[in-house]
Chains A and B, each alone.
Chain A
């Protein structure tokens, strides 16, 4: 492979992973934008979505399906995980966060960390299901193989650079979702209500906006995005585990902060940046130092631009 080909290949990997990170980061940034909570459990909701997808895949025996049916299977997993993750995220808000709206931000965050732990543990138990895809559930904590059900042919023919159906799928799923999200936030009634609540929830409530419902919907949408991301992630990376939520969540939250938390384009930009930095660092430096490099970049950006790349500074009302 030529040098430039290696670079392009890493760029493709970086962008694909970056899009997935961005999709998760959107969930963080939406929730943060509306109630200023780092929804710690979001990464674990994402992880449970991947487990659901694997369960669906195993339960229906999708590996044996014909290519056309596999395509339908992917859609089914996407839909199933999105609904499940959205619902789960909404439930967390309903059960663990809603009663704390008036409490301090620290209590809210602690509650979110607690939810994250509970979800992690549920993932551990889920991995112990006696199913074929979970290796019979013998060692629950071990990472699980996620079967490759998307074809892996190189769409560029004989070229040394590989773009496979998996890469294409990542973009085909993530880009429409992001466009849809932007339209939803900027054009729809719900989006307007969301922006109103984000700016001033008391005023929004006085204007007759059902604040709790709007926040709940935000959690649902953010969770659903995480659900989509989980299926794409699993199909792209082919291995899942109950602790992946923490890692992915770290990356995604870093991306959201990098881009400027609360900003949707910022989350996407941050995700792509992190994805590319990771890929390049894996290739040209040492992969064991990748996390350190990402962290260093985060700290540097926060020193020089505390509100992130695309974030706006909020003034405290005095």
Chain B
């Protein structure tokens, strides 16, 4: 089964084609690497896969499903409801003074009991007596604008990174993006957020579910920090970590959501050789724990050491795909990285 498959992905920014017609399939339990020279479009590919960019063309499937808020009945109901509410409230808002005088002012006498039923009847009469412009036309315009607005908002947020993350795809960033003011545990807990169920009121009123959930996830976060070897710093601010540890914390944060697939963007950047060895072990442990790994990397020893398959990009196009041994023997890949002999 393929955990991730992307078909004919193209990503265009104005005139620049950053990714052109790239297809890839990643199987469950694999470590899959994407390599290529700087500017080959690797990170752009990641961003298009994780929903940060909307691909110009192409389809991404996770576990053979397209993750997207489709036009489900629920969406349509919501849209119609928004339109109706917007229509009715624009009529009421536009004629509020009139309606108020006809229902409240007309029936209420100072400190006398209020005849509610008459007021309701008057309200009905007042609303049916509205002129065409302030009644039906306003309702239509308001409803149309409301419906259109909800349509636009739905369209813009069909495929957002959070939706994709919640469907079991996690990632790290090339330029580390931790929450520096939060502690390590808190960072990991943010990654777990979408697995939690305690809502607003259980937090506000400190219901029992709040406490049980808190205990459970705190323990799990600590275990995860243990897994990446950062447990002893669990309560320090993430901003205080040395560089190599930050990458690991990012991995822990990504793993916190129990993803089926994790995308690592240059996890070894800026690491010294010893750290790279640790990282290789970590990546293998992640895979062995049941998470499929896709990584972008320049560090050849790491790529060749851990990956099962490798995809090579150059100028946004895929030029080769295969096992490490195949790639090593492929002249065009070697050329892409090292240049031909003539160029030195």
Chain A residues with CB under 8 Å of chain B are 300, 303-304, 315, 318
Contacts and interface: CB of A to CB of B under 8 A. Distances in A.
A318 B50 CA distance: 12
Nearest to A304: B152
B217 interface: no
Nearest to B43: A318
Interface in B1-60: 13, 43, 47, 52
Contacts of B152: 303-304
B52 A318 contact: yes
A318 B45 CA distance: 12
Given A318-B43, A318-B47, A304 B52 contact: no
Given A318-B43, A318-B47, A318-B52, A300 B145 contact: yes
Contacts of A303: 149, 152-153
B19 to A, nearest CB: 14
B173 interface: yes
Contacts, number: 14
A313 to B, nearest CB: 11
Give the 10 A-B CB pairs with smallest separation, nearest first: A303-B149, A318-B47, A318-B52, A304-B152, A303-B152, A318-B173, A318-B43, A300-B145, A304-B149, A303-B153
Nearest to B152: A304
Contacts of B47: 318
Contacts of A300: 145, 149
Interface of B: 13, 43, 47, 52, 145, 148-149, 152-153, 173-174
A300 B173 CA distance: 35
A318 B296 CA distance: 14
Nearest to A299: B149
Nearest to B156: A306
A203 to B, nearest CB: 16
Nearest to A306: B156
A315 B48 CA distance: 13
B300 to A, nearest CB: 24
A304 B153 CA distance: 9
Given A315-B13, A318-B47, 12 more contacts: A300-B145, A300-B149, A303-B149, A303-B152, A303-B153, A304-B148, A304-B149, A304-B152, A318-B43, A318-B52, A318-B173, A318-B174
Contacts of B148: 304
Nearest to B173: A318
14 contacts: A300-B145, A300-B149, A303-B149, A303-B152, A303-B153, A304-B148, A304-B149, A304-B152, A315-B13, A318-B43, A318-B47, A318-B52, A318-B173, A318-B174
Contacts of A304: 148-149, 152
A265 B13 CA distance: 23
A249 B214 CA distance: 48
B244 to A, nearest CB: 22
Contacts of A318: 43, 47, 52, 173-174
